[in-house]
Amino acid sequence: MSRLQVVSGKGGTGKTTVAAALALALATEGKRTLLVEVEGRQGIAQLFETEALPYEERKIAVAPGGGEVYALAIDAERALLDYLQMFYKLGSAGRALKKLGAIDFATTIAPGVRDVLLTGKACEAVRRREKHGGFCYDHVVMDAPPTGRITRFLNVNDEVAGLAKIGPIHHQAQAVMRVLKSPETAVHLVTLLEEMPVQETADGIAELREAGLPVGGVVVNMVRPHVLDEDAVRAARGDHRDGIAKALASAGVGGSARLVGPLLEQAAEHAQRVELEREQREALAKLQVPTYELPFLGEGADIAGLYRLARELRKLGVGA
């Protein structure tokens, strides 16, 4: 079972929502999970309707059965101070560096350094143990950068290990890559049943595989139920307008013919969507990864909706 679940996907497809629901799902039955965010956007706080998260692990939700979800918005600047403290015991010197602007340089000017710090912090949480030896968190779920950046983001420590050939930074970078490339990690991609995100998912999976990163599953989000059965869909595709108008007229309800046109148009649109979705499902099946479908929440993805998505993910066995 993977202990680090990374959730990526095309922008706006529901990465943050799915990551939060997955953290809840994995926390059921007394487990403890950590939900981490790396893009400094406070998406988790918004979702759980709490104030902005500090750089500190905080309990934000209780899962069914008594599990706990903690959250952490990883801040690159603070992570750099941790990192310096860890390797060079630079407590107050770190603060001096910050005054000099060296940390701004490292965290904003050199984006690679930023990613080293973010992935490093997440892996530290995965590996962290309690005094008696058990893991602090049963699972860590990362609300990760989008598909276009995910491979580079996760692989950045490979580059670092190559640059620093020996010494503590080399060891740290190698330790991070050991976690990220092991079966302990699963990278999931969120998509919609639409052409663009499905194509992006296919490209993303190919890239992850090439880089030797462990692909988990594809989460198909916001799936709407079909309101017509197969026969009705087939019928809705044809043009039966005249026939139907005649039949209505002969049944003595010819006056309602004006309604028929728009209704048939709607049915045809629905049939078209069903057809497009079938094509996208076929494209996803070719990727040979497990796919999991989550429903579109009509009332929006509020906290009640999150618990509902968590139940679905649990039923589907995602991450288990």
Ligand X SMILES: Nc1ncnc2c1ncn2[C@@H]1O[C@H](COP(=O)(O)OP(=O)(O)OP(=O)(O)O)[C@@H](O)[C@H]1O
- Binding residues for ligand X, rule: CB under 6 A, are 9, 11-17, 43, 146, 221-222, 294, 296-297, 300-301
Considering the complex, state which of residue 167 and residue 300 has its C-beta at the smaller distance from ligand X: 300
Q: State the Cα–Cα distance between residues 126 and 276, nearest whole angstrom.
A: 40
Helix (H) or strand (E) holding 4: strand 4-9
Residue 138 neighbours by CB under 8 Å, 6+ apart: 3, 26, 27, 31, 32, 33
Work out what residue 155 binds among Mg ion, ligand X, none; the CB cut-off runs from 5 to 8 Å by kind: none
Work out what residue 8 binds among ligand X, Mg ion, none; the CB cut-off runs from 5 to 8 Å by kind: none
Residue 196 neighbours by CB under 8 Å, 6+ apart: 10
As measured in angstroms, the least distance from the Cβ of 266 to ligand X is 21
CA dist list (Å): 183 to 3, 15, 261: 9, 21, 55
As measured in angstroms, the least distance from the Cβ of 300 to ligand X is 6
As measured in angstroms, the least distance from the Cβ of 48 to ligand X is 12
Amino acid identity, residue 261?
Answer: G
Considering the complex, state which of residue 192 and residue 264 has its C-beta at the smaller distance from Mg ion: 192
As measured in angstroms, the least distance from the Cβ of 257 to ligand X is 37
Considering the complex, state which of residue 48 and residue 135 has its C-beta at the smaller distance from ligand X: 48
Residue whose C-alpha is closest to residue 292's, from 12, 14, 3, 11: 14
Decide: 181 and 214 in contact? Cβ < 8 Å: yes
Residue 24's CB: how many other CB atoms inside 10 A?
A: 27
As measured in angstroms, the least distance from the Cβ of 214 to Mg ion is 22
Q: State the Cα–Cα distance between residues 296 and 42, nearest whole angstrom.
A: 23
Q: State the Cα–Cα distance between residues 152 and 276, nearest whole angstrom.
A: 32
Work out what residue 87 binds among ligand X, Mg ion, none; the CB cut-off runs from 5 to 8 Å by kind: none
Q: Tell me the residue nearest to Mg ion as measured from the CB.
A: 16
Among 43, 94, 146, 319, binds Mg ion (CB under 5 A): 43
Residue 36 neighbours by CB under 8 Å, 6+ apart: 71, 72, 73, 74, 121, 122, 125, 140, 141, 142, 143
Considering the complex, state which of residue 14 and residue 120 has its C-beta at the smaller distance from ligand X: 14
Instruction: Give the binding range for Mg ion (CB under 5 A) out of 41-49, 64-72, 278-286, 296-304.
Output: 41-49
> Residue 16, interface with Mg ion (CB under 5 A)?
yes
Q: Give the rounded distance of the alpha carbon of 52 from its chain centre.
A: 20
Considering the complex, state which of residue 37 and residue 124 has its C-beta at the smaller distance from Mg ion: 37
Alpha helices (runs of H) in 37-134, residue ranges in sequence order: 43-47, 76-88, 91-100, 102-104, 111-127
Work out what residue 188 binds among ligand X, Mg ion, none; the CB cut-off runs from 5 to 8 Å by kind: none
Considering the complex, state which of residue 111 and residue 305 has its C-beta at the smaller distance from ligand X: 305
Work out what residue 11 binds among Mg ion, ligand X, none; the CB cut-off runs from 5 to 8 Å by kind: ligand X
Instruction: Give the binding range for Mg ion (CB under 5 A) out of 16-24, 80-88, 145-153, 278-286.
Output: 16-24
Binding site for Mg ion (CB under 5 A): 15-16, 43
